[in-house]
Structure 1
Amino acid sequence: MEWSLPFQFPFMVNAMLISVMLAIPAGLLSCFLVLKGWSLMGDAISHAVLPGVVLAYVLGLPLGIGAFAAGMACAGLTGFIDENSRVKRDTVMGVVFSGMFGLGIVMYTKIESDVHLDHILFGNMLGVGPEDMWTTGVIAVVVTGLIAFFWRDLLLQSFDEQQARAQGLHVRALHFGTLAAISLTVVAALQAVGIILAIAFLVAPGAIAFLLTKRFGVMLWLSMAIAAVCSFVGVYASFFLDSAPAPTIVLLMTAAFIAAFIRASVQARRVTM
């Protein structure tokens, strides 16, 4: 039957699996990024990993190691400048991530590589191999496990950092732990959706869930479900549309956000009437 055609090709099945595995930690992190107003931080880290990827390729190291190191360097540099200058954090992030992204482009143009830049920037979901699947799966389990264990502490820190500190929580450890989880998730997204589209996975699911519910526990489950469904359906639909899977997923998330926004606006008008 025609509807089952995508499942007859191993590369399509692998693309569906890796996208759903990525959707789970990204959907969870997305909720905290939305609550903390850290959407730009996810964007900054996703762009800043490029020089780390290039450097890792030159040194013969796994690309994920370079991406993680560069992501944490970006987060640390942003925090240092933010604490030691009068410049606002969003401005600092904009300068740091654009600078590191530009550095990565320059480094890439200066080396001989068989890794096409398009695959780094936009991913190569249909070309994932067993190593990519294992990397994404391990990162998904680690990040999901950490968030499941610390989600109450992270929630308190997101809403009231001073109260979290007063209750004895290690706010700084939670801060950098969140940044490390973002960096790991970007590493997982590198092969599947690429650097540029990773930000959609880290922001859109949480934003959609935020519009649909006022309970954070429900928001977490909704965000994961939205990310997973959009990922699976996006890859499946891309087969019949003859389009790239990652942008198709992002378009579905955008459509879901628009629908959630319209629903929230209609409900708000009914309340005020």
Structure 2
Amino acid sequence: MVDFVKALMNPDFQFLANALIMGILASISFGIIGTYVVTRRISYLAGAISHAAFGGIGMALYLSRTFDIAWLDPIHGAMVFAVGAAVITGMISIHSREREDTVIGAIWSVGMAMGIVFIDMTPGYFELSSFLFGDILLISSNDIVLITILDVVILGTVMLCYNPLLAVCFDDEYAMLRGINAHGYYIFLLCLTAVTVVLMVRIVGIVMVIALLTLPAAIAGKMTKRMLPMMSLAVFLCMLFDTAGLAVSFVNGISTGPTIILIAGISYLAVMIFYRIRN
């Protein structure tokens, strides 16, 4: 840990300071949106959205290389696919008689398959591990700006739409009886989740982003049943996991994203065991 602190103070390790800043800023969005995801019980839906984003990454790489579109970044394709998957899944779950788990499974698998096919068709070699498993050490100043904007948007949304989103998370029918457009807010929540997932892929990757989105909020939900305290605690826990994972991975020379998830997973298991024993 001492080596980690010294490295943070070393100007030659600016990438490490950027990673720490990114982890702290990302925790705000993860904690808030994760609380809604856990409360609304749409964790697997968020997972399907994150995996559907891989199709957008593959499409963006294919188009940029094949047609020489220099400005097209994989994150652009991921955003389109993730938001599209959120809207489609939400509309189907609201208006269709199809089982929601079937829709989630289809979007999950089709998104990944499309991404792989597009990448197979793309000339050249790509290192996809940063998209699949994340690499917070590659964070740039532009990424920090994007996450800061996302935090502002999410905090503003919570302040403006706290009560409607709260009602939608706990009881759709009650919300509609009170004149709230529950379906509209549900789709809006899914879109916010999609944007958060895409912008956080750089930290822990598509495969594991759902864990960091849900584990801190799930732990917070064991400690409090009120929404605002749960959000605050989830943000704090996410910051703690990100910082601890960054420090452990740096000192031991191992991958940062998986380390963060392991720490979060062990913490969740410990909390579950503690509450089970106490009860």
TM-score (norm 2): 0.90
More displaced, 108-117 or 209-218? 108-117
1:156 aligned partner: 167
Q: Out of 141, 154, 165, which is 2:152 matched to?
A: 141
1:238 aligned partner: 249
* 1:253 Cα offset (Å): 0.7
Letter in 2 for 1:93: I
Deviations 1:30-86 (CA, angstroms, capped at 9, x unpaired): 111111110001100110001112222324323332212101221233234435654
Letter in 1 for 2:35: C
Q: How does 1:24-103 map to 2 (within 5 A)?
A: 24-57=28-61, 58-59=63-64, 60=69, 61-83=72-94, 85-103=96-114
Give the distance between the partners of 1:114 and 1:6, measured in 2 at CA: 33
The alignment partner of 2:254 has SS state of: coil
Deviations 1:128-181 (CA, angstroms, capped at 9, x unpaired): 212222222212221232123322221111111111111121212211211111
2:266 aligned partner: 255
The alignment partner of 1:87 has SS state of: coil
The alignment partner of 1:193 has SS state of: helix
Give the distance between the partners of 1:264 and 1:148, measured in 2 at CA: 32
Unaligned runs of 5+ in 1: 269-273
Q: Does structure 1 retain, via aligned residues, the 8 Å contact 2:4–2:250?
A: no
1:271 aligned partner: none
Unaligned runs of 5+ in 2: none
- The number of aligned residues is 268
Letter in 2 for 1:189: M
Q: Give the root-mean-square deviation of aligned CA atoms.
A: 1.8
Letter in 1 for 2:229: V
Q: Is 2:136 the counterpart of 1:132?
A: no
Q: Out of 110, 117, 122, which is 1:111 matched to?
A: 122
* 1:201 Cα offset (Å): 1.6
Q: Does structure 1 retain, via aligned residues, the 8 Å contact 2:91–2:187?
A: no
Give the distance between the partners of 2:148 and 2:124, measured in 1 at CA: 27
* 1:6 Cα offset (Å): 2.9
Give the distance between the partners of 2:124 and 2:160, measured in 1 at CA: 41
Letter in 2 for 1:43: G
Q: Does structure 2 retain, via aligned residues, the 8 Å contact 1:6–1:236?
A: no
* 1:223 Cα offset (Å): 0.7
2:14 aligned partner: 10
Give the distance between the partners of 2:248 and 2:90, measured in 1 at CA: 41
Q: Does structure 2 retain, via aligned residues, the 8 Å contact 1:6–1:239?
A: no
Deviations 1:179-235 (CA, angstroms, capped at 9, x unpaired): 111111112112222111111121111111111122222111111110111111111
Letter in 1 for 2:53: V
Letter in 1 for 2:253: D
More displaced, 142-151 or 244-253? 142-151
Q: Out of 191, 199, 205, which is 1:194 matched to?
A: 205
Give the distance between the partners of 2:94 and 2:166, measured in 1 at CA: 23
Letter in 2 for 1:12: L
